[in-house]
Structure 1
Amino acid sequence: MPTLLKFDRPGVGSTTQVGLLRHRHIWRAASAYDRAFRNDPLHVYLTVSAGVTNTPLSIFRKRFLAVVGLLVWMRTQLVLTVDDGATVVTAEVPSKESSGLRIRFLNWFYNTLSHWVRKLTYTNEALKRRAECDTKMKPVIADKLGDRAKDMIYIPLIVTEPESQGRGYSKALLSTVTNIADSRGLASWLFSSNIRNEGFYNKCGFVAAGSFALGDGNPTWDKDPIVVQLMIREPKTA
């Protein structure tokens, strides 16, 4: 299924083609993941401002981990792209069938690898901030989603390389996922790590249902708290 949908590209007399991510797209997608999030408020709080610097080695390590993640997600989730990895979205679509041993192993492998990479390369402050994020995120999910989460489409990642931003690629990918959700009568949810993106998600049908703040009460953080929003989109009926 090389092409799922086509969307008009605003301002350009052509269409945006959305397709499944292929192996040949992975390195570009990993590069997009690295570069797109460098100035993201949550990323800055969790890494750069906590002493995790961008050296050639750390950049390679980050992209390598993204490559491994994409290879795993292509086998365990729905992974879509526009322009051969320029923009990528991942989506966990609920299934009535339980996850097989292979999928559980792949998820365990990637989660374990990510854990040890952080443990061996992050500063103590960065590890502390990561734990803060995890601790504050879980109760928001439990309170706002609860048992409903297992019957919703979860969108863990949407990323666009800097030079491809502003072309409607992210909207095309989100629209593909939400069209799938609508066809199945499913709600969708995601976390937004940048409050400035709220308007974009609102246009795609998502509304903020809850939030948590990072950095408040942390004496090593001298900027405004980072607000992370949990956003939900209810299915549209025909």
Structure 2
Amino acid sequence: MHGVLDERARLLAPGHVVPLRQAHVWKAAKTWTRACENNPEMQYLRMSHKQSGLEKAIDRVVMTALMSLLRKRRIALTVDDSTAFVFAAPPSVVSEPTGPLDRTSTVIIRILTSILQRKIVSSEQRKRNQELEDKTKKAIENSLGDRVKDMVTIMILATDPDSRGRGYGGSLLDSVTSLADVMGQTSWLTSSNVANTEFYRIHGFKTIADIVLGDDNPEWHEQPVVVKLMVRAPRGRIA
């Protein structure tokens, strides 16, 4: 997908934002692994388990495979050789896959995602993942309804922790939302980190629903994790 949008991305993005190529993917996977270490949502799904070096290495390999598949099907941009990157999906690719190749790729993507979310590790983790899926689906249905099919989805935005505060994430996010502005489309995402939520607010997103995880789970002994469902209207319009 990024190949189709390269020219528009170059017109809209700052000079240091470029399409994410296959050569960037291995480092981008490391960026994601490091960026997710303290993510509240991931900690809940992984039962606050501290990742070992081997688990981080496995995550990096799996994420490399996942991004290699997603890269050509989505908007994929990077800054500073994958120190930060974003994946987003325009409405045209959010619908169900049609051809055999699309369906096969979708199955592989779901398997890789399940590994990253630890769905296959234990029944408790499967239950937590199902909780996230069910509550997110309900929040989207109640707050956005069928409109979500016509929106740009911010799938992943990650910056290496050592490079935060340099404006990389903002440049990437603005590149995607500028494209959404051109297409006249609303963007949406979820955020489970308070600092990230404020960052998204500064870049034009507003919270429309809370997705609360762990509030009714007797196996979770920490504060419930609140995931914000956020939207940004195209400039000049109201979501």
- Describe how 1:138-153 pairs up with structure 2 within 5 A: 138-153=137-152
Structure 1: which amino acid aligns with 2:39?
A: D
- Describe how 1:17-36 pairs up with structure 2 within 5 A: 17-36=16-35
8 Å contact from structure 2 (residues 152, 180) kept in 1? yes
Corresponding residue pairs, total? 227
* Distance in 1 of aligned mates of 2:38 and 2:94: 39
Q: Could you say which residue in structure 2 is the equivalent of 1:222? A: 221
Q: Could you say which residue in structure 2 is the equivalent of 1:115? A: 114
What 5-or-longer segments of structure 2 have no aligned partner? 1-5
RMSD of aligned C-alpha atoms?
2.2
* Distance in 2 of aligned mates of 1:97 and 1:47: 27
* Distance in 2 of aligned mates of 1:152 and 1:25: 27
8 Å contact from structure 2 (residues 139, 210) kept in 1? yes
Structure 1: which amino acid aligns with 2:26?
A: W
* Distance in 1 of aligned mates of 2:59 and 2:93: 34
| Percent of matched pairs sharing the same residue | 37
8 Å contact from structure 1 (residues 190, 230) kept in 2? yes
Q: Could you say which residue in structure 1 is the equivalent of 2:167? A: 168
- Secondary structure, counterpart of 2:180 in structure 1: helix
Structure 2: which amino acid aligns with 1:156?
A: M
* Distance in 1 of aligned mates of 2:52 and 2:93: 44
- Secondary structure, counterpart of 2:71 in structure 1: helix
Give the TM-score of the pair, scaled to structure 2: 0.87
Q: Could you say which residue in structure 2 is the equivalent of 1:71? A: 68
* Distance in 2 of aligned mates of 1:127 and 1:63: 21
Structure 2: which amino acid aligns with 1:178?
A: T
- Secondary structure, counterpart of 1:63 in structure 2: helix
* Distance in 2 of aligned mates of 1:173 and 1:48: 30
What 5-or-longer segments of structure 1 have no aligned partner? 8-15
Deviation at 1:100, TM superposition (A): 5.3
* Distance in 1 of aligned mates of 2:200 and 2:24: 26
- Secondary structure, counterpart of 1:170 in structure 2: helix
Deviation at 1:119, TM superposition (A): 4.4
Deviations 1:59-98, CA, capped at 9 Å, x for gaps = 1221111111111111211111001111111110123997
Give the TM-score of the pair, scaled to structure 1: 0.87
Q: Could you say which residue in structure 2 is the equivalent of 1:13? A: none
